[in-house]
Structure 1
Amino acid sequence: MSQATQSSIRDADSFDYVIVGSGAAGSILANRLSAGGATVCVLEAGPPDHSPYLHIPAGFIKAVFNKKYAWQFSSEGTAQTNGRRVPIPQGRTLGGSTSINGLVYNRGQAADFDHWAALGNTGWSYEDVLPYFKSMERRVGGDDRYRGRKGELPVTDIDWIHPLCEAFIAGAVEQGIPRNPDYNGAEQAGVGYFQRTIDRGWRMSTAKCFLKPAMARKNLEVRTYAQATRVLFEGCKAVGVAYCHPAHPSQVRAVRARREVIVSCGAINTPKLLQLSGLGPADLLRQHNIEVVRDLPGVGENLSDHYSVRVVARVKNSQTMNQLVKGLSLAGQISRWLMKRPSIMALSPSLLHYFWKSTPELTAPDLQGVFTPASYKEGYVGMLDDFPGMTAGVWQHRPESRGQVRIRSADPLQDPLILANYLEHEGDQRTLVRGIRLARQLLRSQALAQYFDSEVLPGPLCESDSELLDFARRYGVSSYHVNGTARMGPAGDTYAVVDPQLRVHGIQNLRVIDSSVMPAMPSANICAATMMIGNKAADLIKQS
């Protein structure tokens, strides 16, 4: 530590806990820890969440590619993505990615968490984590054995029903996929409507539900435009965090942690911050003239993500959302939203789910699919097509391809190198091709025949496995479900970064609490599981 930094940490404000990041886990931690009387400081690199695009669900498209509110990360191009860089935006405001994401609430299969425990992570089985899912959730409907009723997070059902959605469900049922009213209950398999973090027409981010109510407490301070530049150490003990305003990087400040520093920056920024702080593969750190605090080869490794592909069809005999967002139709939808009536303004981007198997011999789903009565140009969520369209997307639950996140330099404002390595594993290629075939099959069901006009993507000339794989390489995108880059595991695991208490191996007073710690990809969108991690981690901290 330089003399200047030593002076700044001595003179810094002091809190019991310093939390870096206000996202899915960080906001919940700030709420829970401050409720117990501890003093807490939250550092958020982005601005406050004042924009209406962050609160109106339909604002998703405007927020997710806005560099003010989202880190515009992208993976390096590879042969498996046809040389394309694949965008991986991540939230950069209060609430983190819960302020810009697709609003889906999806826990995953019980077997996911039992697998975490089987890898040596005691206390992370489904039986262990279910109470933490339930305690943060306010859900109407479902079985009390699985669902929470009194939590801060509203989890609601869709109230805007389109005939294409009902037809898609009927078509899936006719092809053997059962209708499932609660995929977060006893069984995931089936087709039905997504549950969402939307309440009375508004997005329910973790900032809205957990952080802002807690900000009324005098023992919680939230600092926006505060980008962490490194964790500060005395020997192998974390004692604080250095940070700066992103527009004034030379003006470095520090905040001291009397008890613990908690890194909750997400699966890209967390390994970046750890590496900048001297925790990571020693060769990488020395390459950038960073003093090695501890050689942790797993920092930045094990990157996982869901690589999704969308099948698009032209629609006949029905309006779709492509038309409802234009002219007088859009004005009508806005009026309905203002009157608290069902409206496209209060929808998640994907309305339906289907969880199913790529081959009949499997005992549980290995695919997740989505459906919406809308379509986007070239299948990419952004600009809607000019014609009436519908989309069935699909991705593999547990891809085996793994990537890395590595700093490019010692500059804390430079984006890291992201090697997502999508489709590098041959098994991932086979499973995704089967998933594309299933999506096509569902769009061609008898129940949808009155609406199905023609396939636009990949198109009728694309039939063989090699052609479908080429389509996936050219049009596949990230689902923004990155995780695993500081994975949890016992001390004997060379590539484990944190122990089952989420403490960084070999370091005092430092924990990682976000999607980075997931030891294996859950069979779900990762937001719900990341919130659960934050909720459970608060108890782990209090117990210690």
Structure 2
Amino acid sequence: MTTYDYIVIGTGSAGSVVAERLSASGRNSVLVLEAGGSDRRFHVQMPLGYAQCFTNPEVNWNFRTEPDPGLANRVSHWPRGKVLGGSSSINALVWIRGHRTDFDDWRAAGNVGWGYDDVLPAFKALEDNAAGADEWRAAGGPVRVSDITKFVHPLAMRFIEAGCELGLPRNLDFNGADQEGMGIYQQNISKGRRVSAARAYLHPASKRPNVRVETHAVATRILIEQGRAVGVDYLHKGKPASARARREVIISAGSINSPHLLQLSGIGPGRLLAETGIETLIANDNVGAHLQDHQSVNYAWRSRIPTLNRLLRPWWGKAYIGSRYLLTRTGPLAMSLNQGGGFLRTDPALTRPNMQIYFQASSTVPPRPGERAVREIDPWPGFAMGISNCRPKSRGEIRLASRDPLAAPRITANALSHDDDVAEMLEGVRFLRRMAATKAMAPFIVEEVRPGSSLQSNDELVADIRSRAGTVFHPVSTCRMAPDAADGVVSPRLKVHGVNGLRVIDASVFPNIISGNTNAAAMMIGWKGAEMILEDNA
């Protein structure tokens, strides 16, 4: 059994950063385990290729939830990256940090060192902002953050004008002085290629002699001796293997797999572990609890002018944009479908935005229950606007389904189970319709296609939300950070309560969900977590 200073389990948004930072000095040996394979795939590197990764089992865990009463008893597809870079290799590339008060809330809950002023240096260390550095942004970091404004569809600019017509400010930088307003989303793309956590951090680290990266390596159990994590059992290409850690074991497997691995290792709800036949080493009901996620619903309109549907659906359109991308690394394939967006308050009395809005210059046919999750482009020119609630109050859980480490855990999302979340979504979809009726957008609309203008009452709109809404793929908080084990799984130093030498460093430790996309904040967690490890082991 080989021994390393550190073992990092998972190469996602946080894990790749952790591995790079721990190995940078050359003094520490680091073993990095990734359940999936290489990210050197065309559809991973091409920004819009994430649509082809949505259900591909070669790069995706393809989790499925339990039937959800809040979503009309539907079973939801939850893609999670099973590839170098994790979900940062298959996500939609929108670079949002979150609202500054989200992190101040973390600190106010007793998590010292996690306020906005504490995390801002880490955010700045990550990025190479195309617009340069200022009080809030930085240049020169590993993650290129690009401005796609000059490449967006003309309707994206009309979308921004519509929001401004309704009283929202124009916002040139959602990650700058203020988050509220309408603007074009920044994306972590460089020269037409995805800048995942693996590309920015893991690949440079893997060239070092003190780093070993093993792919197709599924962690099955943390080895704990006398209250200390000393290593990990795993399956490497299906064969049992083990490794030991002199200093620490770091779990960066994500909000689904991190609590699952803890439970497999005897750390979790005692009754659940006993029912599954696993010896309880540390009883903690918070492991796998407090699951939070953003839910979204899209409205689609038929457009009077051509949209990306014209290029994304027919063979000749695909051939054109494919050739353009291969030759110039530009065009629709070189950026995300989510071009424009914004953050708004549905109630002026609120002190911060409570809803996020998206614009896509295309529209897709929703899959029917039981059909594949990949969506087909509508055969007519269309565009879509979507809304999601920033800080949902609904809570779900991740629970061990079997002592078999290869069996998927049970995901109970409990989406839209809180009345306040439903009320916010209702206000959100009514705002979408007001957007469509503005002078900026109405001249370009033939009709509302989904859900259709015949639905008007609150009951009708809520029923539609429950029948069509779904995850925005931002699960967090299943190993949440809290000062003591009564409220969380890890300490503000990201150490697992009750176990020495074991940390969780990924989005599962968020004390509460943030306002906006979670990839940037997960990478920030990786940066700060590695910093803490190096400080504590100096």
Alignment counterpart, residue 513 of structure 2, candidates 484, 505, 521: 521
What is residue 28 of structure 1 aligned with on the other side?
17
* Aligned residue identity for 2:75: R
Matched, 1:322 2:309: yes
C-alpha deviation, 1:444, in angstroms:
2.3
Alignment counterpart, residue 181 of structure 1, candidates 172, 180, 184: 172
Contact 2:23–2:29 (CA under 8 A) maintained in structure 1:
yes
TM-superposition CA deviations, 1:196-254 (whole Å, max 9, x none): 011110011111111001111000000000000010111211000100036x3xx3110
CA distance in 2, matches of 1:403, 1:439: 28
* Percent of aligned positions that are identical: 42
Q: Which runs of 5+ in 2 are unaligned?
A: 368-372
CA distance in 2, matches of 1:409, 1:229: 12
C-alpha deviation, 1:341, in angstroms:
5.8
Equivalent position SS for 1:516:
helix
Matched, 1:15 2:7: no
Matched, 1:450 2:443: yes
C-alpha deviation, 1:381, in angstroms:
6.5
What is residue 4 of structure 1 aligned with on the other side?
none
TM-superposition CA deviations, 1:38-65 (whole Å, max 9, x none): 1100000011112211000121110121
Contact 1:378–1:457 (CA under 8 A) maintained in structure 2:
no
> RMSD between aligned alpha carbons?
1.3
What is residue 69 of structure 2 aligned with on the other side?
79
C-alpha deviation, 1:327, in angstroms:
3.0
Matched, 1:485 2:483: no
Rate the CA distance shift 1:472–1:142 in 2: closer, same or farther, 3 A.
farther
Equivalent position SS for 2:117:
helix
* Aligned residue identity for 1:58: L
Matched, 1:257 2:245: yes
C-alpha deviation, 1:142, in angstroms:
5.9
CA distance in 2, matches of 1:506, 1:197: 37
What is residue 347 of structure 1 aligned with on the other side?
335
TM-superposition CA deviations, 1:109-158 (whole Å, max 9, x none): 10000000000000000000000000110002266110011110000011
Q: How many equivalent residue pairs?
A: 528
What is residue 98 of structure 1 aligned with on the other side?
88
CA distance in 1, matches of 2:324, 2:56: 27
Please say which of residues 335-344 and 148-157 is displaced more in the overlay.
Answer: 335-344
Equivalent position SS for 1:399:
coil
TM-superposition CA deviations, 1:462-483 (whole Å, max 9, x none): 1111111111110011100000
What is residue 370 of structure 2 aligned with on the other side?
none
Please say which of residues 43-52 and 259-268 is displaced more in the overlay.
Answer: 43-52
TM-superposition CA deviations, 1:440-496 (whole Å, max 9, x none): 2112221112211101111111111111111111001110000000000012x5131
What is residue 438 of structure 1 aligned with on the other side?
431
* Aligned residue identity for 2:37: P
C-alpha deviation, 1:336, in angstroms:
2.6
Equivalent position SS for 1:91:
coil
Contact 1:133–1:532 (CA under 8 A) maintained in structure 2:
yes
CA distance in 1, matches of 2:138, 2:221: 38
What is residue 166 of structure 1 aligned with on the other side?
157
Alignment counterpart, residue 154 of structure 1, candidates 144, 159, 176: 144
What is residue 205 of structure 2 aligned with on the other side?
214
Alignment counterpart, residue 489 of structure 2, candidates 497, 503, 526: 497
Contact 1:142–1:182 (CA under 8 A) maintained in structure 2:
no
CA distance in 2, matches of 1:435, 1:450: 22
CA distance in 1, matches of 2:88, 2:475: 14
* Aligned residue identity for 1:103: L
TM-score, L = length of structure 2: 0.96
What is residue 281 of structure 2 aligned with on the other side?
293
CA distance in 2, matches of 1:537, 1:516: 13
Equivalent position SS for 1:222:
strand
CA distance in 1, matches of 2:366, 2:447: 15
CA distance in 2, matches of 1:235, 1:137: 41
CA distance in 2, matches of 1:112, 1:412: 34
Matched, 1:42 2:29: no
C-alpha deviation, 1:182, in angstroms:
0.3
TM-score, L = length of structure 1: 0.95
CA distance in 2, matches of 1:135, 1:32: 12
TM-superposition CA deviations, 1:28-87 (whole Å, max 9, x none): 111100002211000000111122110001211101211110111122112211110111
Equivalent position SS for 2:338:
coil
Contact 1:235–1:293 (CA under 8 A) maintained in structure 2:
no
* Aligned residue identity for 1:105: W
Equivalent position SS for 2:377:
coil
CA distance in 1, matches of 2:236, 2:376: 33
TM-superposition CA deviations, 1:330-386 (whole Å, max 9, x none): 333223323436400111121111110111221211000100110110288632111
Equivalent position SS for 1:283:
helix
Contact 1:56–1:345 (CA under 8 A) maintained in structure 2:
yes
Q: Which runs of 5+ in 1 are unaligned?
A: 1-11
